[in-house]
Amino acid sequence: MRVKVYPVKSLEGTISAPPSKSYTHRALFIALLTNSESKILNMLHSADTKASMHAIKAFGGTIKDTIIKGVEKPIEPNNIINCGDSGTTIRFAASVASLVNGLTILTGSKSLRRRPMKPLEHALKQLGAHVFSRNGNPPLVILGGNIKSQEIEINGSVSSQFISGLLIISPIIGLTIHVTEKIVSRPYIDMTIQTMEAFGVKVKEENSTFIVEKQQYKPTIFTVPGDYSSAAFLMAAASLLGHVKILNLKQDDVQADKAFINILKEMGAKVIVGSNYVEIEKASLEGIEVNCSNTPDIVPVLSVLGAYARGKTIIKGIAHLRFKESDRIKTVSKNLKLMGAHVEEGPDYIKIYGNRKLRGAILNSFGDHRIAMAFIIAALAAGSPSIIKGVESIVDSYPLFIDHIKSLGGNIEVV
């Protein structure tokens, strides 16, 4: 799917942030491991979360509207589980598969089959599962049901999703997880722990070790909060082009990308934060230097802002972005250069020399939803129209994104 994006002078209005994709994944998999029915309110229905719903059903859970009925023990799937583009789904499902008395086969899209799994594969083998992969990448074949160890080690420098998946199954086993290397995207682990606690499970942490005694998840009513990761695109659009109020954003949330608010303030954006909303008004932005090791999802749109800001923007600590739906350091750099920006990339950083009026261009999303959304924002502020290819990937996280942008005054048409 290709869209043509026309530059606009302003974006104005009020939008409710979509439900959090990250919380939805976590609540679904935890609800699977309860022994009764839970209610998950305000779930996100996107391609990625639907992949998790498919996995839940394959493991024996049932989903009807907001009700998820868990199982005493996950069952052997009767078919291959296709996780689509969702790295979270395959990593959480792989952990659950270690509990299954039988065989689980996990695969996904071409993009997903490039995602690294080796640290999780190694951890699951320590538990006692037999795991076979394509040299550390999906597809995965997991023979579980024979837990031999209650203490494991895992490298935390590749993806926090590995640790979150292990934490989710930990109360079923009674598990101690020793994390080696520096943990990237740490707030996502906090989100996992907070969701586990909402389902009645306690987690202890000592230094870089997580200790979870054997416990039973309790069925509950869980309300998914608004998604700061998706809202970041609306905030960025407003800071370049207008005045937008975004509802359904809790200020006491542990979501990593809530940090985008302070980044925008540091760049000079006009930001008002309320009890359940964020309001952004167009301002002249200044380049900054920022470490995004904990906030990888905002890097594409932050890079776009850097291209429109005065001075230099350096985004560092982002080596793990090379293993997302696309190599986001490379794909961001390529698209910004096509639009006329001066960009330098390194192994774990991107450097953007801003204060430019970007030109329209023919751009590629590279099958990556966050690249597609970031460059729709870039194109709206450019000097001439742009064509963006592959925007169907937006359904992975924010299916209503184009509709929401158009409701604020964006001019986007399918071509």
> Could you list the active site residues?
297
* Whole-number Cα distances in Å, 212 to 145, 205, 259: 19, 9, 28
Would you state the structure tokens that stand for residue 38, as one six-digit string?
């839970």
Distance CA 382, CA 363 (A): 13
Would you state the structure tokens that stand for residue 43, as one six-digit string?
């779930």
Q: How many Cβ atoms sit within 10 Å of the Cβ of residue 7?
A: 18
Residue with tokens 């990625």: 48
Distance CA 51, CA 199 (A): 22
Distance CA 129, CA 179 (A): 19
DSSP string, 271-334: EEE-SSEEEEE----B--EEE-TT-GGGHHHHHHHHHHSBSEEEEES-GGGGGSSS-HHHHHHH
Task: Pick the closest to residue 121 from 89, 143, 150 (CA basis).
Answer: 143
Distance CA 188, CA 194 (A): 10
* Whole-number Cα distances in Å, 259 to 256, 265, 297, 304, 307: 6, 10, 11, 17, 20
DSSP label of 212: E
What crossing angle do the helices spanning 21-32 and 186-198 adopt, rounded to 10°?
A: 50
Task: Pick the closest to residue 356 from 291, 302, 273, 285 (CA basis).
Answer: 285
